[in-house]
Amino acid sequence: MQEQPEIPHNALVLIGDGRKALILRNLGAQRRLKFEQVRFFEHETPRTSEMGTDRPGRMGRMVGTMSKGRTAFEQTDWHHLEEARFVRAVEEALTRAVQAEPSAQIIVVMPPKALGEFRAGMSSKLKPHVIGEIAKDLTQYTVTEIERHLRHPDAVD
């Protein structure tokens, strides 16, 4: 099991997933976390029917392994695309924040899939500021509960 990173005084903590993100600042010490909310992002994902009407592509008759008329392309996952866009918007906001605060240190807390999206799109300006990552979904918790979960990671469900 990977050790959880320390959260230094004044560090920014991004708690997020593909629909919600919360940026907190640790006003406490490394072992006595006290978070203050800096910014909240929420993305309302429209119903699939409102996002697109794309149908899978089709290929004509082919010689070989594909039978005629079978779908050759996957259905577009509109929700995944919207969540990826949202993660990108949060990453861009953090990049602007570190430009305004060059000494900023950031801990990113996201579920594994969203963390992978975030990491893949992270700008070279933001990368040096990210001092730790935690693959966990804490978006459903209050700020006080997030403090408790990050203070005592073994107690988290």
pLDDT (tens digit per residue) in 31-71:
899 999 999 988 765 555 554 555 555 555 555 555 555 55
Q: Is residue 62 part of a domain?
A: no
Cβ within 8 Å of residue 123, ≥6 positions away: 91, 92, 95
Average pLDDT over the chain reads 80
Q: Is residue 106 part of a domain?
A: yes
pTM of the predicted model as reported, rounded to 2 decimal places:
0.74
Which is nearest to 98 in space by CA: 5, 6, 12? 12
Q: Is residue 142 part of a domain?
A: yes
- CA dist 142 to 4, 48, 76, Å? 20, 29, 34
Count of the separate structural domains present in the chain: 1
Here the CATH number for the domain that contains residue 89 is 3.30.420.60
Q: Is residue 57 part of a domain?
A: no
Q: Is residue 103 part of a domain?
A: yes
Residues of the domain holding 136: 12-45+72-155
